[in-house]
Structure 1
Amino acid sequence: MLFFADDIPNLLESFSVLHINDSGDVLEKVSEVTATHVRLTEPVFSPLAAVISSIFRVKVTCNVLIYYQPHMPFLKLHVYLILHDPALQQSVHKEESSIGYEMIKKPRPDKYLRMQQGFTLKAAIETAKVQPKKLTLRYDSQDPNFYEVFIENPTRDFDLTLLCADSKKKEAKLHPVWTCEIRRDDHPKSGLVEAAASSGGATCLSSPDEEHFVDKHREELIQRVSNVGPILDRLLQKKVLLQETYDTISSLPTSVVKMREIFSCLRAGVACKDIFFSILQEKERFLITDLQK
C-alpha cells in the first residue's frame, strides 16, 4: 500500500533516529519522511560510536567461497572470505562464472569472525603458493578481494586452513578458525588427470588394480628410448616436470641415465604416468606398439 506524508499529518512525529553522543543515547526528530528514507535537518553525531566500534569490533557470520579454473594441468583457486550476504555471494558467483571459473562448495566457518581482523590462508601441500599473505575482513559490496592459491602439480588431497592472530602484535600466534579438505573430485576438470584426458593421446590401458604400463615395461623403456629431449620438452610443457628438474635431467650424459631420472620423478601418482604414457605414444609410437603386443 502506498502513502504520502501529506496524507498522515502526524507522520513526522512517528519517526526518530537513535544514536549515541557523549551524553548517552539520543532520539533525534526527523524533518522529512519518504518511501525509502528519513532526513535530518541538522544532524549532530558523536564520534563515540565509531570509537566504540573500533575498540569492540563486531563479530559476524561469514562464507568462504572457493572457485577453480578448469581444463588446466595446474590447480588455481580463488578463495573469498565474505560476509554472509546472499546478494554479495551472487555477485561473486556471477563474476567468477563470467571468466570460466567453477565453484567448489564447502561448509562455511562455524564461528563468528571479527570485522577488520586480518586472516591468513594456508594450503597444506608443499608446492602451493598463496597470495596475498593476509586479507582484512571488511564489507566490500562491489569488488571483494580474494586469495589466489596456485598448485603446479595437484596430485593429492590437501587441507585449506584460515587462520587469524590472537592479537595485533607481530609475534602473535595464529590459530585456525576454519578448515576444509580439497579432494581430487572437488576439481575434476583440472590437474594432471584432466591434462592427460585432453592431451589428444590415449590414456593408459591398465585398470587401477593393475600394474601401470610404464611400470610394467620400465626397463625396456629405459634401454630402448634414445631420443629423450622431445619427451622432456613435453613433460615440462604438461607441468609434470619443474624447470629446475628439466634442466637437471637434460644435463645428464646418456639417454639411459635420463630415462631412469624421469622414472624417479613419476612417483607422484598415476596421473603423471598417464601423461608420460601419452607422450611416449606420440614420440615413440613404434616402440609402444611393439611393447603392447
Structure 2
Amino acid sequence: MTTVQEKLLETLKDLTFSDFEQFKLLLRSTTIKKGLPIISKRRLERADKVGIVKLMMKTYDQQCVDLTRMILMKMDRRYLLQGLSDTSSVSKRPSKSLEPVSCGSNVEDSSDWTKLEPEVDSTGADEAPIYSLQSEAGSFECNVSGFRWICKEKVSFKYQFCSLEEHMERIKSMQYMPAGPLMDITVLAGRFFEGYLPHWICIVDNPTILDKFAVLHTDDCGDVVEKVSEVTSSHVKLSEPVFSLKMVLLRIGLPIKVNCNVSIFVNKTSFLTLHVYLTPRDPGLQQKLEKIELPDGYKVIRKPHPAKSLKMNDWFILSTDLDGAEICPKKLMLRYESTEPNFIEVFINNPDTNFHLNLTKENECEPVWTRAIRKDEYQSTVHIQETPGPSNADNAAISTLQSRVSSIHTTDSCLQSLENAGASTTSSGTIATTQDSMRSLSLFAL
C-alpha cells in the first residue's frame, strides 16, 4: 500500500459507521456533479473502508486526495483534513480538473486527450467510410467519432459507423435503447489499455440512470450485453477491450435527456427549401443524413447544437422570423429513428435577407435553440449551369471546320462548272459520287 493509500485509509478509519455511509453517498453525488468517472452504486454500497480507498485510487488516481478533502469539508469534518495536508498523489496520467462541467461537456479537460484526425477511405459509394488511426503510447481522441483510447504501446486501428436497422428490434426486445453510435472497430496492431465509447445521454442531476448503462457486443456468435462499472458525462469506459461491433445502450423505462444535433440541409433553386432534423448527437446518424440529402442537391449548413440537453419523446416546434415561410410539419418529436429519420421542411419563396430559425419545446415560450441563417449561406448553394464559351482549342477546330466546309463548297462549284461545260465524258452520276466522297473525307479528317 502506497503512502497516499495509507493516509486516506487512516483518515477514513476515524469516521463512524454513519459518517462513512454519508461519505460514500457524497462521493457518488460529488463525482456526478463534477462530471468525474462514476463508481457504481452497488460497488460503493458493498465496499468497506479499505475497498473504498482502492476504488478511489483506481478510478481517480491523483484526484483522490482533493476529492476526499472536498467531501470531508461538506461533512464538516475539517479536523480530519490535517492528516491529508502533506499528502500528494503520484500519477502516471495528466491531471484532470475537478471544476464542474455541464452536461454534454467532456469529463476530462481537453488537454488530457490528444485529438487526432483520422484518414478516410470512401472508395465505395454505397458503403460507409472507413476511418483509420494510429498513435504512440498516450491518451487520444478521434475528432470524428469521439472515441477515446489509452495505450501503453503503438497502436493502429480502423473503424466505421454501422446502421442500426438490423439490430433495433433485438435491442428493443432486450428492453434497451441506443445511447451511442454503433461502431465496428478493428485493431490492426498493438492493443488498447482502455477504451471509451461515446454516449449522448445526460447524466447530470440524474444519478439513478448510471446503473442502467450497458455495452452491446455483436459478433458471429450473436449479441452480448455487458454491464458497465464506470460512466462519465460523455463516455463509457472499457478496460482492455477486445472489439467487435460495439455501442452503448441504456435500459428503457426512465425519462431521459440527451445531447442533440439540429441538422440543416438547404437547396435553393427559384425558391429555398430547408430540411431540419432533430436527433441525438450520433455522428453515424449524421453521416446517414448526409448520404440521404446530398445526392438530391442539398447542402449542409453547420450550426452549433443546442446548449442544453433535451428530453426524449418531447415535441418541439420550429419557427422563423421570415414572413411567408411555409413550415411542415409544424412540430417534431425527439426520438431515435434508425431507418428514415423524420424532418421538418421549410419552404421560402425568393428570400433575399438573413433570417432566424427557432426551436421551442411545445407549450413553452423560450426557445431551446436559435440560430441565424445568413443570406450568403443559402445563396452559395445555387447550382448555376452556365453554357461555357468556346475555348481556344474549340475556336481552332471551328476555324478548321469552316475552312474545310468552304473548301467543299469551292470543289462543288468547280465540278458544277466542268459539268456545265460538258467536260470529258464523265457522267453526272460519277460527279455526284465524287462530290459525296470528297465531303465525306473532309469531315472525317476533322
Q: TM-score, normalised by structure 2?
A: 0.31
Rg: which structure is higher? Answer: 2
Q: TM-score, normalised by structure 1?
A: 0.46
Higher relative contact order (CA 8 A, sep 6+): 1
